[in-house]
Amino acid sequence: MKVLVTGGTGFVGTHLVNALVRRGHSVAVLARDAGATRNRYNRPVETVAGNVLDPASLTAAMAGREAVIHLVGIIHEQGQQTFDRMHREAAGNVAAAMRAAGPRRLLHMSAMGAGEDAPSEYGRTKAAGERAVRESGLDATIFRPSIIFGPGDGFVSLLAPIVRWNPLFIPVIGKGQTRFMPVSVYDVARVFGDALEKPGTIGQVYEVGGPETFTLDEIYREIATAVGKRRKPLVHLPLWWGRFLAARFEGAARRGWIDAPPLTRDQLRSLTRDNAANRNRLPPDSQLSTLSSRLYLGSSFSFERRYPPLIASASLMY
């Protein structure tokens, strides 16, 4: 199938594009910077210049495609790239461009916890993006993954150095009891590929979590074991301290002192609600890897340690 992928240069997008090419699809990647696709994938793919906030560029990019996979999303706001614009407006732009240019099949990336009543702006605007997709009348499938990990992620690779290098203890903001279903990026890529090839998935919403549920504390412990710091104790810091720290990080990012805040107040708000589904909903016959997430959590970090330059170039984590 001739597929256009938005967000194809990001963490999930890089793995997904590789998976789609391997499955025999003809893939084009919409990129703000054409150089960002160079040497990124296992095989060359077409690059189309465009920005999801620029409707004209989207319409041009859609010409001749049979399906669109819309992955673009952010976890912190930066300049024009606000949550509302990037999740609601961009989804509307993609849908409008599809209606204008022809392709009807849309795979839309949302997130577990998306909801009008979500505690975070991220979750509320993800819900607004889903609404834009549903109202478009296109042949859409929506995906809501829990936290995704794998080579190049921004999750294990953010937590692992904290676990490893923080002297004496591992700082955890809040009570550490929020539940997650970490899912491998390879599983996410497989589920998208399966849905693309099955018309029966049109109109469905899939909750994509890994095979096990972990509290935040348990995730820290798994990572601690993987990096050889099993005995380091977890110390819980109050939420107000987390908010104070996050506000400083956000200010530093606004002033251009750092590229991206490693923690935001919006992320802390999302920690007030579990990020786990009662039951995974996957496309028919789609299967998650049978290997335990524990092994993956460790292996994704050890891969990262062995190949840091490769991972750095493949990673543009939010």
Positions touching ligand NAP (CB under 6 A) are 6-7, 9-13, 31-33, 36, 51-53, 71-73, 81, 109, 111, 145, 147-148, 155, 316-318
Compute the distance between CA of residue 139 and CA of residue 136 in angstroms, rounded to an integer.
Answer: 9
CB closer to ligand NAP out of 185 and 227: 185
How far from the centroid of its chain's Cα atoms is residue 299's Cα?
19
In angstroms, give the least distance from the CB of 276 to ligand NAP: 13
Compute the distance between CA of residue 216 and CA of residue 232 in angstroms, rounded to an integer.
Answer: 15
In angstroms, give the least distance from the CB of 127 to ligand NAP: 12
Q: Which residues partner with 275 through β-bridges?
A: 180
In angstroms, give the least distance from the CB of 281 to ligand NAP: 15
CB closer to ligand NAP out of 212 and 229: 212
Residue 238, class by beta-carbon neighbours within 10 Å (0-12 exposed, 13-18 middle, 19+ buried)?
A: exposed
CB closer to ligand NAP out of 94 and 246: 94
CB closer to ligand NAP out of 73 and 298: 73
Report the Cα–Cα distance between both ends of the chain, in Å, rounded: 29
In angstroms, give the least distance from the CB of 59 to ligand NAP: 14
CB closer to ligand NAP out of 36 and 205: 36
Taking Cα atoms as reference points, which of 208, 31, 211 lies closest to residue 107? 208
In angstroms, give the least distance from the CB of 167 to ligand NAP: 28
290 contact partners, CB below 8 Å, separation of at least 6: 211
Q: Which residues partner with 144 through β-bridges?
A: 207
